[in-house]
Structure 1
Amino acid sequence: IIQSVINTFGASVIAGYSASVKLNNLVITSFTTLGNGISNYTAQNIGADKPLRICQGFRAGLKLVWMLCVPLMVLYFLVGRYLLYLFLDNPTGTAMQVGIQFLRILSPFYFVISAKLVSDDILRGAGLMKPFMIGTFTDLILRVVLAKVLSVPFGPLGIWCAWPIGWVISAAMSVYFYEKGPWKQAEAEEARIPARVAAQE
């Protein structure tokens, strides 16, 4: 659906978007691959009745994906132009500018979407499919609706902005669902143990 909106802006915009979205998808695929490991880790610890490890896995997962975010964001900002040449058959000025604009708008928000994906994969690994699906479909629906709405006053720029807006809102939901998980209660109980021991002494 978003592609149909982009198609109304001509061949150069289509070419720039097609090239830049491939670079973006490489990043998202990397996050998803790491997330699959976190999902398996969560399922194993749910089965072993070790919920505290899930909280540790969440923090470790965030560190891993954010370590990946920093160099990729810098790379796309500084040398995104040269990376786009890999995917542009006929790199016109307009297509190149569209691709650069897309990457520079989205790449700072890789921290946000990666946090969403880590949270989602923990929910999925724990079998909490309802909150997982809510977060996922919220992201997809928001991006489609916002792309259509924002493209009218802002053109292609409005379409690109639909991505980070959808990411921020859906990430907030996914992290909220993670924070409400049973593992957070176990973590809170663990944190209270030293205070109880001190009180008994």
Structure 2
Amino acid sequence: MYYDLTKGPITKNLILFSLPMIAGDLLQQFYNIADTLIVSRFIGSHALAAVGSAYALMTFLTSIFIGLAMGVSSLLSIDLGKQEEERLKSTIVHSFFLIMSITIILTILVYLGINPILHFLQIPQSLLYGTQTYLLIIFSGMIAVALYNFITCILRAVGNSLTPLYFLGVSALINIILDLVFIIVFHMGIGGAALATVIAQYISAIGITLYFCKHCQAYMPRKRHCHYDSQILSEITKYSLFTCLQQSCMNFGILLIQRLVDSFGAITMAGFAAAVKIDTFAYLPVQDFGNAFSTFIAQNFGAHHKKRLRSGIKIATCVSALFSLILSLLVFIFAKPLMMLFVKAHEIQVISSGVRYLRIEGAFYVGIGCLFLLYGLYRSIDKPQMSLVLTIISLGLRVVLAYAFAPIWGEVGIWVSIPIGWFIADTFGYFYYLRHRATLLP
């Protein structure tokens, strides 16, 4: 189903457009959830810690081309709002070659630099082999992740958020089945978990690409669109560069936090690895609502619907805040049972570490919910540099405070720093919008 977000009731359309995105990303998390559950249950907490460290690194690397795709999505939505379909098709061609070229270069670089990367992360010697094995296999799926996210961003930009859900559903199921087969039947260990994820990633990427080529002829580029246009490439760079930097800075900050967590040893690493999976799963709905909001803003910005833009910002903030509070309450109450899904009951210290994280950081999801809205807003009104500024404020403060508090309060100092960074960035983002609203939404 395709949604024209320049028309109709704002609240209803935003929610309906975001629901498939939420369901799709929840399914995508099954890639990581399946690895975490099966690895922790059938291999052990050391393997769980290794997967956790690898996950932080992989998230940072994939954020680069995901950020590029998100920037392209905003530009495509603006073209659609302006009804410039020929320009939209040329933008698709240019952005495809840009994103895939960067992904290939990045893949080569990480393979060449695997040992320095592991050294930087301060991986304990006991976890070094498992982490390296997992990463060497999981890196081979980067091209698939880039292709899937590129096609998904095109579909979402033109108002189709439902189709990616189907492909993720199939690939998530395949991931879980292959995890069980490779680890339990063939005893392939942590490498089997990585291989299952990579196979599932390629299935979803190839499937959604074939769908786009067959069923989206209205947006399919033709030969006449395959020529170099410096102006289009410049606009793609303008929108994508800051979004890419914003995503990369955000995940580099998380990587630095992971490095600090690793210094506390295997127990904290394992607790953090499981808790982050729960955490990511919990706030995915508000993250995807922010991405849906970004498409809404971009389409209406392109169509010059000033009044609708202002109303949408107010409505989206209220909806996101309410939903975030509900999520926080659920995570706070069920923190221990959720941790015990990933960690065996006798590993009390690991469970306690994860519960502390969830009850401190998870109580303030309203902060990250509003921050996702601000990212989407500024990315879609030709101010992507503001998203980068907000990320630097949020993550910069988080890293600085975590490294300052950790020697005093231990791991609790790391967890406390996270919501502080969110709320200070939110305050700055909304203050800037209110002060410059007349010029931001002309």
| Inter-partner Cα distance in structure 2 for 1:21 and 1:169 | 22
| Inter-partner Cα distance in structure 2 for 1:52 and 1:8 | 51
1:138-177, Cα deviation, whole Å (9 max, x unpaired): 2122212211111111110100011011111111122122
Aligned to 1:125: 380
1:16-74, Cα deviation, whole Å (9 max, x unpaired): 11111111112333222111111111111112211221221112212322332233212
Within the alignment, does 1:93 sit opposite 2:343 as a pair?
A: no
| Inter-partner Cα distance in structure 1 for 2:279 and 2:300 | 32
The within-5 A match list for 1:98-177 is: 98-177=353-432
Aligned to 1:75: 330
Contact 2:274 2:354 in 1 (8 A): yes
TM-score (norm 1): 0.84
Contact 1:52 1:183 in 2 (8 A): no
Shift of 1:185: 8.3
Task: Mark the structure with the bigger radius of gyration.
Answer: 2
Shift of 1:89: 5.0
Letter aligned with residue 14 of structure 1: M
Say which SS state the counterpart of residue 341 (structure 2) adopts.
coil
| Inter-partner Cα distance in structure 2 for 1:47 and 1:185 | 13
Aligned to 2:95: none
Letter aligned with residue 393 of structure 2: T
> Which structure is higher in RCO with an 8 Å CA cutoff and minimum separation 6?
1
| Inter-partner Cα distance in structure 2 for 1:173 and 1:130 | 14
1:121-143, Cα deviation, whole Å (9 max, x unpaired): 11111111121210012212221
Match of 2:278 among 8, 15, 23: 23
Contact 2:398 2:421 in 1 (8 A): yes
Match of 1:7 among 239, 262, 268: 262
Q: Residues 185, 127 of structure 1: CA spacing in aligned structure 2 closer, same or farther, 3 A cutoff?
A: closer
Aligned to 2:299: 44
For this pair of structures, how many residues does the alignment match?
187
Shift of 1:91: 5.4
Return 5+ residue gaps in structure 1 as ranges. Answer: 188-201
| Inter-partner Cα distance in structure 2 for 1:55 and 1:91 | 53
Identity rate of aligned residues, in percent?
28
| Inter-partner Cα distance in structure 2 for 1:108 and 1:56 | 28
Q: Residues 33, 185 of structure 1: CA spacing in aligned structure 2 closer, same or farther, 3 A cutoff?
A: closer
Aligned to 1:182: 437
Shift of 1:184: 8.1
Which range moved further: 82-91 or 30-39?
Answer: 82-91
Instruction: Please report the RMSD computed on the Cα atoms of aligned residues, expressed in angstroms.
Output: 2.1
| Inter-partner Cα distance in structure 2 for 1:186 and 1:128 | 11
Q: Residues 186, 121 of structure 1: CA spacing in aligned structure 2 closer, same or farther, 3 A cutoff?
A: closer
Say which SS state the counterpart of residue 171 (structure 1) adopts.
helix
| Inter-partner Cα distance in structure 2 for 1:150 and 1:186 | 40
Contact 1:113 1:167 in 2 (8 A): yes
Return 5+ residue gaps in structure 2 as ranges. Answer: 1-255
| Inter-partner Cα distance in structure 2 for 1:26 and 1:91 | 24
| Inter-partner Cα distance in structure 2 for 1:140 and 1:74 | 24
Match of 1:35 among 272, 283, 290: 290
The within-5 A match list for 1:49-68 is: 49-68=304-323
| Inter-partner Cα distance in structure 2 for 1:186 and 1:129 | 14
